[in-house]
């Protein structure tokens, strides 16, 4: 077996973890976030995790490590800062509101964190990101089928498969 030094690098591990999470099915891994390059119109992706703890780890560890691979001291300092900012945030509601705002500020210049929450929030909720995702999804559906449905309405079961596909490709 060949040993690849780069596969042991925390930065490479973080990139692989983010890549894997961007292809997870949000119906099974319902805790997620959306992040993009910190450039106007930079590429981005939804990332999905099976637990709040896994989501928290990705936000605190994987995001900074994946994009700051040439400055280990800077990464370690940012990771400590993110851990302090999210300490005690034991619910998705806390992490998705207060946590997302402070994380977004700390990650400025690294990644643009746009949303933290659950798949159910995107399907059923009335947050700004949920309404935006449903609106853009339904706008796309309308162009394809001439059907119209308000973004304020929750997704119905017949829309789920296409919505999951829409989220998987959003921002890419």
pTM of the shown model: 0.84
CA atoms of 57 and 61, how far apart (whole Å): 6
CA atoms of 51 and 124, how far apart (whole Å): 19
The series of mean pLDDT values per 10 residues for the chain, 172 residues long, is 51 89 96 86 90 91 75 78 83 81 80 91 93 92 67 88 96 84
Q: Is 49 helix (H, G, I), strand (E, B) or coil?
A: strand
Rounded to 5°, the CA angle 151-55-39 comes to 65
Where are the extended beta strands (E) located within the chain? Answer: 31-37, 44-49, 111-118
pLDDT at 6: 47
pLDDT at 104: 81
Domain ranges of the chain: 5-169
- Measure the N-to-C terminal CA separation of the chain; round to a whole number of Å: 35
Q: Are 133 and 121 in contact (CB under 8 A)?
A: no
CA 123 to chain centre: 15
Q: Are 99 and 117 in contact (CB under 8 A)?
A: no
pLDDT at 69: 59
């Amino acid at each position: 077996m060949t040993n690849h030094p780069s596969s042991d690098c925390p930065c490479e591990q973080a990139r692989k973890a983010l890549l894997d999470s961007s292809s997870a099915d949000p119906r099974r891994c319902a805790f997620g976030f959306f992040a993009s390059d910190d450039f106007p119109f930079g590429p981005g992706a939804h990332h999905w995790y099976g637990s709040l703890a896994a989501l928290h780890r990705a936000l605190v560890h994987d995001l900074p490590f994946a994009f700051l691979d040439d400055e280990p001291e800077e990464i370690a300092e940012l990771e400590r800062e993110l851990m302090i900012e999210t300490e005690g945030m034991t619910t998705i509601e806390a992490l998705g509101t207060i946590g997302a705002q402070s994380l977004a500020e700390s990650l400025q210049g690294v990644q643009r964190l746009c949303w933290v929450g659950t798949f159910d929030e995107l399907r059923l909720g009335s947050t700004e990101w949920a309404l935006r995702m449903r609106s853009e999804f339904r706008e796309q559906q309308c162009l394809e089928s001439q059907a119209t449905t308000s973004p304020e309405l929750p997704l119905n079961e017949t829309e789920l498969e296409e919505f999951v596909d829409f989220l998987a490709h959003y921002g890419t």
